[in-house]
Copies of this chain bind each other. A is one copy, B any other.
């Protein structure tokens, strides 16, 4: 069927038009994508490797991107005590502010009916999962929708990492997430 290619074209064109409008200020689309991931990821998932896997990129490329984000003050390095190889990056205030800048596409989406956006969300999620299954990628889903998540009084607990989680943290992306 010809339709597969058409959907693919639509997605790529939409992303391209969005990227064109994402050049504002000091940032390019790739840098913005990293910032936006960082804002949504929990503290176990903010390393170069995780970003690279999430974005379908490589550690080398992402390492470069972090270098310029650090230089420009959007992000700060955080070395791990336990594993001296590991690093993760946190958003600075400037970085956090940059993640909610004007987005033409978000406006366009908000003009659609709830019915349409709900359907769109569901079918895009289906597609994403199917694509990830195809190339062995991980879902990077939300922490509290994970099979290793247990609800606690004020937040939750991860049975995989044996770590307590604040209620905010439980709503973020985790690289270890496996759908419940």
- Identify which of B13, B20, B106, B121 contacts A10 (C-beta below 8 A): B121
With a cutoff of 8 Å between Cβ atoms, the chain B residues found around residue A54 in the complex are: 13
Q: Contact check, A56 vs B17: say whether CB atoms are below 8 A apart.
A: yes
- Decide: A15 near B11, CB < 8 A? Known: A1-B110, A116-B126: yes
| Nearest chain B CB to A118 CB, angstrom units | 8
**Complex formed: what's the CA distance from A55 to B55 in Å?**
21
Q: Contact check, A56 vs B134: say whether CB atoms are below 8 A apart.
A: no
- Identify which of B1, B106, B111, B134 contacts A108 (C-beta below 8 A): B134
Residue positions of A touching B, CB distance < 8 A = 1, 3-21, 33, 36, 40, 54-57, 103-112, 116-117, 119-121, 123-128, 130-135, 137
